[in-house]
Structures are given as C-alpha cells and as structure tokens.
Amino acid sequence: MQFYGVLVMMVTLSTACGLKCYICSSESECKEQTCPSGFDSCSTTMVNGVTVKSCGLLSSCPSPMKCCKGDLCNSAIPTGSSVFLLMVSSAIITLFL
C-alpha cells in the first residue's frame, strides 16, 4: 500500500513542476523551456519550410500541427519511456509475480 502512496506522490510532483517543451523557430536554436500555466501540450509545425516548436493547447491543435503531452515530447529524437510508465509497469510486475 505504501507503494501506491509513493506512486501518487511522484505523479503529483511531476505535474506540479510544469510541462517542459522545446521552443524554437529553427532546428539550430531549440531550447528547453517550462511552459506557462494553462498550456497542456508541446507542439511542432512547419511554417515555410522552417520547423517551429512551442507550448500549446491540446484542445486547439489544428491538423498540420503535431501536438503531444509530456516533457520535451516535441523533440526530433525520442526521449524514452516516462517515469510514470516505468512505475506502472513495475507495479504490475510486483502484483503478479
């Protein structure tokens, strides 16, 4: 039961720290930035052949724009599994083994 308390605490802390996205108007200038409150996704779009990355709203993500949820998910290189996914898989293994 303590494991679930730790799991809930980790999910809460990761949410409280704010979403991080890459912000740039070309591939060479990308920087990590914590999104302001109210933004719930990262976005990537092409404008006149230039890749633009920013914070965004998942509810207002038009078709050519790609939106994703999760820290730094709008990078070109996959960042790997999230801590939450690893904790859930560990919990499932612990429960059934």
Query: Check: CATH 1.10.150 for 19-72?
Result: no
Where does 48-88 show beta strands of DSSP type E?
50-56, 66-68
Tracing tokens 């070309």 back to the chain, one arrives at 26
- The residue ranking higher by pLDDT, 10 or 32, is 32
Q: pLDDT band at 50, cuts 50/70/90?
A: confident
Mean pLDDT computed over every residue of the chain: 78
Domain residue limits, the chain? 19-72
Rounded-to-integer distance, Cα 67 and Cα 61, Å: 6
Phi, psi (5° rounding) for residue 93? -60, -45
Rounded-to-integer distance, Cα 87 and Cα 91, Å: 6
Tracing tokens 């709008």 back to the chain, one arrives at 74
Tell me, yes or no, if the pTM score tops 0.85.
no
